[in-house]
Amino acid sequence: MSYRPKTKSFISIGQLDWSDVKLMTASSQPQLFKQALLDAISRISVARRKPKDFDFERLHAVLPKSLSTLSLEHCTAPQDSIGPIQREALHKAN
């Protein structure tokens, strides 16, 4: 986590492990993304340096409702948009 007072920016990163994601169906992947994002927000509460006027608890409460409106189309790209190198890599993984 990183808080930059001059720019008033706070960075907390959520990570997804590809070895977990690649085994999941496309419809179950958004839930993993949502959880990683909420976990990143939760870490703000334990940060040593954090913005005093940022209501992270409210963000953590409101975000699941906003994320529930995501559809599968919001989170995935059509196969046609994948280039030949990515397509080859995908077929090797399967």
Q: Specify the pLDDT at position 79.
A: 52
**Confidence (pTM):** 0.63
Enclosing domain of residue 28: 2-93
Q: Specify the pLDDT at position 76.
A: 62
Q: Helices then strands (H, E): number in the chain? A: 5, 2
Calpha distance 43→40 (Å, rounded): 5
Calpha distance 89→86 (Å, rounded): 5
pLDDT tens profile 74-91? 666 555 555 665 666 666
Q: Specify the pLDDT at position 92.
A: 58
Whole-angstrom CA distances from 51 to 2, 8, 76 are: 11, 7, 33
Q: Specify the pLDDT at position 80.
A: 56
Residues across the chain: 94
Calpha distance 29→70 (Å, rounded): 12
Q: What's the domain count of the chain?
A: 1
pLDDT tens profile 28-54? 888 888 888 888 888 887 888 877 777
